[in-house]
Amino acid sequence: MQVDLRQSWWIRDVEIPTRLVLAPMAGVSVQAFRRQGRRYGAGLVCSEMVSCAGLEHKNERTLGYLRVARDEHPLAIQIFGSEPQVMAEAARMVVAAGADIVDINFGCPVRKVTKTGAGATLLEDPDRACAIVEAVASTAGVPVSVKMRRGLEDGSRACLTVGPRLVEAGAATLTLHPRSARQMYTGEADHSLTAELVERVDVPVIASGDITSRARAQAVLATTSAAAVMVGRGAQGNPWALREIVDGDAAEPSREEVAAELIVFVRETVRELGGRRAAGFLKKFYGWYLGRGRFPKSFKQELVQLESTDDIVMRLLAAAPGAAEIVEGLESELPDPADEILLDSMPISIYGGG
pLDDT of 337 > 80? The answer is: no
Q: Give residue 294's pLDDT.
A: 94
| pLDDT tens digits for range 1-50 | 789 999 999 999 999 999 999 999 999 999 999 999 999 999 999 999 99
Query: Which is nearest to 41 in space by CA: 79, 8, 86?
Result: 8
The Cα 88–Cα 76 span in angstroms is 15
pLDDT of 61 > 90? The answer is: no
pLDDT of 353 > 80? The answer is: no
Residues 6+ apart with CB under 8 A from 75: 34, 44, 45, 46, 47, 68, 98, 99, 100, 101
Residues 6+ apart with CB under 8 A from 10: 16, 204
Q: Give residue 75's pLDDT.
A: 97
For residue 130, indicate whether it is catalytic: no
The Cα 239–Cα 255 span in angstroms is 14
Task: Look up the pTM and report it.
Answer: 0.93
Eight-class DSSP state of 116: T
pLDDT band at residue 347, thresholds of 50, 70 and 90?
A: very low
Mean pLDDT for the stretch of residues 218-222 = 97
| pLDDT tens digits for range 224-279 | 999 999 999 999 999 999 999 999 999 999 999 999 999 999 999 999 999 999 99
Q: Give residue 338's pLDDT.
A: 61
| pLDDT tens digits for range 113-167 | 988 899 999 999 999 999 999 999 999 999 999 999 999 899 999 999 999 999 9
Q: With residue 149 as reference, give the H or E element that holds it.
A: strand 144-151
Percent of the residues in the chain that have a pLDDT greater than 90, as a whole number: 83
Active-site residue, from 52, 108, 130, 159 = 108
The Cα 193–Cα 139 span in angstroms is 31
Mean pLDDT for the stretch of residues 99-105 = 97
Eight-class DSSP state of 225: -
Query: Which is nearest to 171 in space by CA: 220, 222, 122?
Result: 122
Percent of the residues in the chain that have a pLDDT greater than 70, as a whole number: 95
